[in-house]
Structure 1
Amino acid sequence: MTTAEPETDTAAVEKELLAFLTERVGAEPALDQDLFAAGLVSSMFAMQLVVHLEDTYDVEIVGPELALDNFRSVRAMSALVQRLRQDGDPQ
């Protein structure tokens, strides 16, 4: 059985992240909403987001990429995934 790779275009990543966040926090945030300021995401939950992004999109988030600003909104996380996929995917 082969596992299909997740779609990684910006709209697909944003849609998947919205679904993940909605399931976990019980509310669907706006794409540009500051998740920390809105109280939807804590620093502990941000670590769950790191693991989710790494597992779902086969990226490694380390060093300066762990900055909270990369997890502040759905758009910021989607941009992080796109950047890491472009920079680190030799395929």
Structure 2
Amino acid sequence: MSASTFGAYGATTTETTILAFIEDHTKISWEPDTDLFASGSVTSLFALELVVFLERTFGVAVTGEDLTLANFRTVAAMTALVDRLRERT
């Protein structure tokens, strides 16, 4: 499924789709392993937007045990989360 095109971002992988979304909203270029929260550029409100974005874009449900900062700290972590959630469905 990672070879599909995801929404308005025209990205072809989960990672590039997430990066495009974050870069569009922060106007900052990010590396997949950069700690978004330590940078001070990502707020708790934006964290909620990230959850909704992942659910809508990738057709997954982020619930309970998956709602941890560790799963949203980096683009790489969010990519891994989406991959895990896809395997559950």
Secondary structure of the residue aligned to 2:51 is helix
Identity among equivalent positions (%) equals: 44
Secondary structure of the residue aligned to 1:64 is helix
Q: Which amino acid in the other structure matches residue 52 of structure 1?
A: F
2:40 corresponds in structure 1 to 39
State the distance in 2 between where 1:5 and 1:19 align.
Answer: 12
CA RMSD of aligned residues (A): 1.9
Query: Where does structure 2 lack aligned partners over 5 or more consecutive residues?
Result: 7-11
**How many positions carry a matched residue from both structures?**
82
Cα distance, 1:64 vs structure 2: 1.2
Give every structure 1 segment of 4 or more consecutive aligned residues whose post-TM-superposition deviation is greater than 4 Å. Answer: none
State the distance in 2 between where 1:52 and 1:31 align.
Answer: 17
State the distance in 2 between where 1:54 and 1:79 align.
Answer: 14
Query: Where does structure 1 lack aligned partners over 5 or more consecutive residues?
Result: none
Q: Which has the larger radius of gyration?
A: 1
**1:1-91, aligned counterparts within 5 Å?**
6=6, 12-87=13-88, 89=89
Q: Give the alignment's TM-score, normalised by structure 1.
A: 0.83
Q: Which amino acid in the other structure matches residue 79 of structure 2?
A: S
Identify if the C-alpha distance between structure 1 residues 71 and 13 changes in structure 2 by more than 3 Å, giving closer, same or farther. same
State the distance in 1 between where 2:5 and 2:34 align.
Answer: 28
Q: Which amino acid in the other structure matches residue 43 of structure 2?
A: S
The one of the two structures with greater contact order (alpha-carbon pairs below 8 A, sep at least 6) is 1
